[in-house]
């Protein structure tokens, strides 16, 4: 029979191997993409318009489309997700209504992205075409908002639950109302957790392709309004690699996409650290 110390050493070895495998795999993937993509990235590549169906030129329009699409999706999803989480935790934490909402949220989180795309095509592109313009940024953003709502609701709910009850009790003792307590005490204390959900949502929609192929339109021109079709970097990457076969452009686009996601994560970490310092002082 193994001694406890031997079991402890074996467990540490397994954990170390798992961590090493994860880091090694990450380095291999990033190294392969960056080594093939960085030589293609230049100022001209970032500022020129795509040409020949993306086989030449740059990716300027896809960068602009990605930014507009991401911001629009967050403007739709973040307020709804935060308000839904507040309602679930602060107003109806238990009961059949809360259970039904949580069940719906969990079910929504498990739906494949292509199903979201099919729904977005049938509802936003076809039925609401007079409003959204058909294949457009509006249709894609509305579809993506449904996709990230479960993530924002769940993470925000857990962040609000982590706020100590003493904060609420102290606020009530001073005569604050329910909404004053939630908006001025609970929510600011939960902001770091809320930001985590937003970051996860950004990571999903920036890298999404399947749902957007059915809703966004795939235009390589710079969109002038939310009713114009567009193409994000992930969509452009898929089309250039799978339909055009220009792998040098695909690796260049993938490199810019990876760097963009890394910059978003780094910026969000700085913001979360600043929020934690404010809430703890």
Q: Which helix (H) or strand (E) holds 236?
A: helix 233-239
Q: Tell whether 272 is covered by a domain.
A: no
Judged against a pLDDT cut of 90, whether residue 56 lies above it is answered with: no
Q: Tell whether 77 is covered by a domain.
A: yes
Q: What was the pLDDT predicted at 279? A: 60
CATH number of the domain that residue 165 is part of: 1.10.3720.10
Q: What was the pLDDT predicted at 207? A: 84
Residue 245, phi then psi, degrees to nearest 5: 85, 15
Q: Tell whether 110 is covered by a domain.
A: yes
Q: Which domain holds residue 86?
A: 62-224
| pLDDT tens-digit map of 209-259 | 888 889 988 888 888 888 899 889 888 888 888 888 888 888 988 999 888
Q: Tell whether 233 is covered by a domain.
A: no
Q: Sorting pLDDT into bands at 50, 70 and 90, what band is 71?
A: very high
Q: Tell whether 30 is covered by a domain.
A: no
Q: Tell whether 185 is covered by a domain.
A: yes
Q: What was the pLDDT predicted at 175? A: 84
User: How many residues does this entry show for the chain?
Assistant: 281
Q: What was the pLDDT predicted at 24? A: 94
Q: Tell whether 111 is covered by a domain.
A: yes
Judged against a pLDDT cut of 70, whether residue 280 lies above it is answered with: no
Q: What was the pLDDT predicted at 185? A: 86
Q: Tell whether 252 is covered by a domain.
A: no
Find out whether 206 and 257 touch, Cβ atoms under 8 Å: yes
Q: What is the pTM of this model?
A: 0.85
| pLDDT tens-digit map of 151-209 | 899 899 888 888 888 888 888 888 888 888 888 888 888 888 888 888 888 888 888 88
In this prediction, residues 26-32 reach a mean pLDDT of: 90
Judged against a pLDDT cut of 70, whether residue 32 lies above it is answered with: yes
Exposure string for 28-45, b = 16+ CB within 10 A, e = fewer: eeeeebbebbeebbeeeb
């Amino acid at each position: 029979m193994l001694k406890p110390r031997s079991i402890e050493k074996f467990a540490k070895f397994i954990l170390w191997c798992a961590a090493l495998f994860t880091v090694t795999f990450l380095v291999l993937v990033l190294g392969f993409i960056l080594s093939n993509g960085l030589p293609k990235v230049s100022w001209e590549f970032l500022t020129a318009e795509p040409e020949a169906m993306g086989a030449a030129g740059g990716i300027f329009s896809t960068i602009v489309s990605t930014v507009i699409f991401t911001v629009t999706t967050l403007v739709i999803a973040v307020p709804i997700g935060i308000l839904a989480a507040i309602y679930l935790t602060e107003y109806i934490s238990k009961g059949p209504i809360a259970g039904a909402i949580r069940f719906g949220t969990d079910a929504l989180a498990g739906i494949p992205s292509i199903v979201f795309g099919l729904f977005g095509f049938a509802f936003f592109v076809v039925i609401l075409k007079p409003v959204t313009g058909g294949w457009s940024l509006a249709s894609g953003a509305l579809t993506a908002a449904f996709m990230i709502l479960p993530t924002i609701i769940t993470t925000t709910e857990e962040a609000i639950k982590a706020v100590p009850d003493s904060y609420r009790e102290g606020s009530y003792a001073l005569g604050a109302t329910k909404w004053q307590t939630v908006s001025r005490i609970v929510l600011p204390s939960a902001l770091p957790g809320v930001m985590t959900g937003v970051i996860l949502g950004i990571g999903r929609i920036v890298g999404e392709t399947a749902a957007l192929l059915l809703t966004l339109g795939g235009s390589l021109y710079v969109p002038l309004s939310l009713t114009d079709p567009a193409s994000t970097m992930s969509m452009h990457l898929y089309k250039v690699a799978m339909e055009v076969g220009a792998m040098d452009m695909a690796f260049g686009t993938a490199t810019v996409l990876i760097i963009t996601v890394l910059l978003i994560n780094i910026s969000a970490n700085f913001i979360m650290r600043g929020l934690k310092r404010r809430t703890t002082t």
